[in-house]
Structure 1
Amino acid sequence: MRAIVAALSLVACMVPAVACAETTEITVRVLAKDSKFIGTSMGGMRMVLRDAQTGQILATGVTQGGTGDTALIMHENRGSRAVLSDDSAAKFTTTLDLDEPRLIEAEAYGPLGQPQAATRVLATQWVVPGRNVTRGDAWVLELPGLVVDVLNPPAHIRVSPDADSVDVRANVVMMCGCPIEPGGLWDAKKLVVMAIVRRNGERISEIALAYAGETSQFAAKVPAKEPGLYEVIVYAHDPRNGNTGLDRTTFIVTGG
């Protein structure tokens, strides 16, 4: 019976009007700009593969795995053909049944574990039936950004004007979750961390946050003498490559 089915399938593929699908495996990884792969520790990246010409969704999922081998990824002499990933590097793998070459769009959104920092990146490439995209680094998308998480003040807290100022503290890491500290591989001294302060919608100051003595944490005091609704936007920026991320919070200084 199996021989009959195989023979019929072969005959069908020989008929010009019938297109036979071939299984085609695709692996996609998301590399955080200036750092490592984004995986399970940051909630992963939501992946959507679609036909770029028709919009048909072909596969969805989430990258899973680790951030990869630091020595492979972060050395200064890597060339355009250098392989950056190993088996530990987070990835999304799917198998498509393709009957013709398709221009496939890969969309990555995340990191899902830090929704305030999540962003989106897209890329397209041709995929031919039966020609897997799995060797080497396979298909790599680079995601720009930094994860900024305002730890203090909590949103909508009420503050007495007698306090004069509010402590602002933020945690800043790479999109893969890699830590930032003075003299480290991701050096806090080379990062600009600022707080833009608005009161009742009007910008009143911009204040630098300094490294707070704990890995990835930065802090400053924001003057808060006048009553009103304050919005604080904390951003981190790397002047060397333009990499930027931000988070925001609000607090209320009550009337005297």
Structure 2
Amino acid sequence: MKKSIFIIVLLFSSIVSFATETKIIVRAKAKDAKFIGSSLGGAYVIIRNKTNNRILAEGKTIGSTGNTDLIMNIPKERGNSISDEQAAKFLATIDIVEPTFIIIEVISPFNNKQAQSKVSTELWLIPGKDILGDGIILEIPGFIIDILKPRTHNYIALKSIKNKPFEIKANIVMMCGCTINKGGVWDSENIEVKAILKKNGSYLKDVTMSLTETNLFEGTIKLTSAGQYELIVYAYNSKSGNTGVDKVNYVVYE
């Protein structure tokens, strides 16, 4: 019995001794924007062995959104990096014995559930052959939209809003948290923002929303009757293909 245990321990030790530390950098980058890092709560990275689905490493990207000129303005040539030392990343050190086919999943933005997406890729990881520099970059499409007004499940007296403009407000940023301004790197003029209003489950009207200050889009409607309302705010950029949506429900009562 002792001899069997000894042999098992010996075999296990041999396997461990042959395992090689292999480093890999994973980054999450917003489509048409910058890296997703600490300022937004990070992107969550999971690296799995595809054969048995075992998690080899997991954690959040940490760091800045990166250098705007390097990422957005300087024409990219083959071999040139778009990341700097501060750019957000997840660095994993994985012990493997032989070439291992892995799945990399990125869930982002981790702290904004209504805008959250999961993207993934697959590749071979070879013992001792680090993947550093820019590493593996996964692109996250979309916008983060937060409806600020009206509030979710708010009860509003009809007499308080009748014959008055009813305000709609939404905060919209890129998936890295990068700001949207008129004429800026992320130009509000290129983004269509509208609110779709429904009453008691039926379509009522569309409302065009305009930028009033950095990231803030506003519009007004007139509500003339009580009911259960649903408000859907969307953003759409035809050039990049980015889209985003947020929804709230509220009640207007007599």
Same fold (TM over 0.5): yes
What SS is found at the alignment partner of 1:67?
coil
What SS is found at the alignment partner of 2:73?
coil
Residue 184 of structure 1 is matched in structure 2 by 184
Residue 113 of structure 2 is matched in structure 1 by 115
Query: 1:82, 1:197 → 2: CA distance?
Result: 47
Check if 1:138 corresponds to 2:135: yes
What SS is found at the alignment partner of 1:137?
strand
1:145 aligned partner, one-letter code = G
1:150 aligned partner, one-letter code = I
Query: 2:208, 2:148 → 1: CA distance?
Result: 16
Deviation at residue 80 of structure 1 after TM alignment: 4.6
2:43 aligned partner, one-letter code = M
Question: Are the aligned partners of 1:225 and 1:253 in contact in 2 as well (CA < 8 Å)?
Answer: no
Deviation at residue 233 of structure 1 after TM alignment: 0.9
Query: 1:188, 1:86 → 2: CA distance?
Result: 28
Deviation at residue 202 of structure 1 after TM alignment: 1.2
Deviation at residue 22 of structure 1 after TM alignment: 0.7
Q: How high is the TM-score relative to the length of structure 2?
A: 0.89
Give unmatched runs, 5+ long, in structure 1: 1-7
Question: Are the aligned partners of 1:148 and 1:245 in contact in 2 as well (CA < 8 Å)?
Answer: yes
Residue 211 of structure 1 is matched in structure 2 by 211
Structure 1 outlier segments of 4+, above 3 Å: none
1:154 aligned partner, one-letter code = R
Check if 1:243 corresponds to 2:242: yes
Query: 1:242, 1:206 → 2: CA distance?
Result: 21
Deviation at residue 76 of structure 1 after TM alignment: 5.3
Residue 36 of structure 2 is matched in structure 1 by 38
The one-character-per-residue Cα deviations of 1:70-90 (angstroms, maximum 9, x if unpaired) are 111001522353311011100
- CA RMSD after TM alignment: 1.9
Query: Matched residue pairs, number?
Result: 240
Q: How high is the TM-score relative to the length of structure 1?
A: 0.89
Residue 47 of structure 1 is matched in structure 2 by 45
Given candidates 9, 25, 39, the residue that maps to 2:23 is 25
Deviation at residue 249 of structure 1 after TM alignment: 1.1
Q: Relative to structure 2, which stretch is displaced further, 195-204 or 41-50?
A: 195-204
Check if 1:155 corresponds to 2:152: yes
Give unmatched runs, 5+ long, in structure 2: 1-9
What SS is found at the alignment partner of 1:74?
helix
Residue 83 of structure 2 is matched in structure 1 by 85
